[in-house]
Amino acid sequence: MFESLQDRLGSILNGLTGRGALSEADVSAALREVRRALLEADVALDVVRSFTERVREKAVGAEILKSIKPGQMVVKIVHDELIEMLGSEGVTIDLNAPAPVVIMMVGLQGSGKTTTTGKIANRMKSRDKKKVLMASLDTRRPAAQEQLRQLGVQTGVDTLPIIAGQSPTDIAARAVQAAKLGGHDVVILDTAGRTHIDEPLMIEMAEIKRKSNPHEILLVADALTGQDAVNLARNFDERVGITGLVLTRMDGDGRGGAALSMRAVTGKPIKLIGVGEKMGELEEFHPRRVADRILGMGDIVSLVEKAAENIDAEKAAAMAAKMAKGKFDLNDLADQLGQMQKMGGMGGIMGLMPGMAGMKDKMAAAGLDDSLFKRQLAIISSMTKAERANPDLLKHSRKKRIAAGSGTDAADINKLLKMHRQMADMMKMMGGKGKGGMMKQMMGGLANKMGLGGLGGGGMPDLSKLDPKQLEALQKQAEAAGLKPGGMPGLGGGGLPGLGGAKLPGLGGGFPGLPGLPKKK
């Protein structure tokens, strides 16, 4: 969603961070470019104007810390103002009210209200363990009520039985009554939309609000709408009074201006974002994380959360046990590739890693994209169980059969086998025999260097079991031993490419350099 804005702002701010000193003219020229980039991304004009003015005030009058370059300070100010524009803290749906809590969904036709209603109900049922009732108040669109009923069947959420001929306000009153009698915690009202805002629609919304007394009124808006989304949000807020926003189609290739404008114009928080068509593809909106992504700083927290949701803990434990024995067959490789796909593929993971956003295009140009994963999974799927467990069986005739079955050629199969061999060798080194494997030796060496030898059989102590004072002492020992944060021995403590080792105040340090990735020139 924010890729074009990310590229533009990244190149503008990179030009600033490379300089030793900044004049007022430099800041003005950069802000002119930032203003242009935001306007091209469809951010509302008054929002852009106030944003650039606030940044200019802070940047020109900023006290430059001794440890930091002026350019980095400007990046920090832009980052803080972006968070302020998006809403400083993430806000979730408020369920702190007597049951049943009524949530009213409003918005224009085609913005994704009905699908979003199903997604929210599914999320509350599975995550919050709430008993939810959904009710469709859309009597105008053909089969709208049937669509919600089908979503209820799909997600296992209760829906209000359809009675033909009832008005939207009567359905709202019946839904609240049914939720009370059925012991439901939450009732979600999916209201009707129009192709544009008109007076009868607003009167109907106000009447439904009066009848059902909703605790939350969520405006569902299409993130691809652009400038018009701001007028839409303003109108609904003035006439009905919304408590939050839900943006759909955030996985699209739009320019993201609606997301940046709507929060600033209405002052109402963006609570959730739709990132796909499936029922589980709904995420909480975290302003700080989105600002990090826009400025190419990555989003490690979201990456970890994605991993926690998608990675099967039992499979991971079994894989770790195999790795400790130095075993890694093609079934394991297929599991790894499948998990990467679940987490959004190469592009999705790269976009969340600090400084890696610029690497996506280079990797795609080199042919390292998600289609490669699909091809590799097709090759592994075309093998027999014995071949997957023992790749050494794969001679010419077998490769010919696998190539025909997977729509690839022998060269693709050889590339996959080479990659597997390299990974298997690495696993053997990490968890192999001898003195407890390379990983344990490395950790033992690190512990000795920090003056912690003899702890846990030469390995690292369990940090989770140390109290704050012990952790502080450990940090001091590490620094005394010459281990600066952001650098590990033997890993060439450089930053990831694109970070240039820059450390912004309050944003933590760089990552230790990863082997196999090119260092930034």
Confidence of residue 442 (pLDDT cuts 50, 70, 90): very low
Exposure string over 432-460, b if 16+ CB within 10 A, otherwise e: beeebbeebebbbebbeebebeeeeebbb
On the 0-12 / 13-18 / 19+ scale of CB atoms within 10 A, 392 is exposed
Each residue of 60-109: pLDDT tens digit?
A: 766 555 546 677 778 888 888 888 888 878 889 999 999 899 999 999 88
Name the amino acid, one letter, at 192. Answer: A
| Residue 266, CA distances (Å) to 223, 231, 259 in order | 15, 10, 11
Whether omega before 100 lies within 30 degrees of 0, making that bond cis, reads yes
Mean pLDDT of 271-285: 89
Q: Is 269 helix (H, G, I), strand (E, B) or coil?
A: coil
Q: What is the pLDDT of residue 494?
A: 37
Distance, C-alpha 494 to centroid of its chain: 26
Q: What is the mean pLDDT of the chain?
A: 77
Q: How far apart are CA 269 and CA 92, in angstroms?
A: 9
Confidence of residue 129 (pLDDT cuts 50, 70, 90): very high
Q: What is the pLDDT of residue 514?
A: 38
Tell whether pTM > 0.85.
no
Q: How far apart are CA 178 and CA 162, in angstroms?
A: 13
Confidence of residue 155 (pLDDT cuts 50, 70, 90): very high
Q: Kindly tell me the sign of the dihedral angle through the C-alpha atoms of 108, 110, 112, 117.
A: positive
Q: How far apart are CA 495 and CA 481, in angstroms?
A: 21
Q: What is the pLDDT of residue 427?
A: 75
Mean pLDDT of 384-404: 91
Confidence of residue 301 (pLDDT cuts 50, 70, 90): low
Q: What is the pLDDT of residue 74?
A: 80
Q: How far apart are CA 499 and CA 518, in angstroms?
A: 12
Q: How far apart are CA 300 and CA 496, in angstroms?
A: 13
Q: What is the pLDDT of residue 134?
A: 97
| Residue 396, CA distances (Å) to 28, 391, 402, 412, 413 in order | 65, 12, 10, 13, 11
Residue 28 reports pLDDT greater than 70:
yes
Confidence of residue 124 (pLDDT cuts 50, 70, 90): very high
Confidence of residue 145 (pLDDT cuts 50, 70, 90): very high
| 61 vs 291: which has the higher pLDDT | 291
Q: What is the pLDDT of residue 399?
A: 92
Lowest average pLDDT, out of 207-211, 250-254, 371-375, goes to 250-254
The tokens describing 407, both together, are 């729509």
Which residue(s) pair with 186 in the sheet? 101, 132
H helices of 156-286, in order, are 168-182, 199-212, 228-239, 257-266
Residue 353 reports pLDDT greater than 70:
no
Q: How far apart are CA 407 and CA 418, in angstroms?
A: 19
Q: What is the pLDDT of residue 500?
A: 37
Q: What is the pLDDT of residue 117?
A: 96
Q: What is the pLDDT of residue 508?
A: 38
Each residue of 157-213: pLDDT tens digit?
A: 999 999 989 999 999 999 999 999 999 999 999 999 887 878 888 899 999 999 999
Give the chain's length.
521
Confidence of residue 342 (pLDDT cuts 50, 70, 90): confident
Q: What is the pLDDT of residue 194?
A: 80
Exposure string over 161-198, b if 16+ CB within 10 A, otherwise e: eeeeeeebbebbeebbebbeeeebbbbbbbbbbbeeee
Q: Is 116 helix (H, G, I), strand (E, B) or coil?
A: helix
Q: How far apart are CA 352 and CA 303, in angstroms?
A: 6
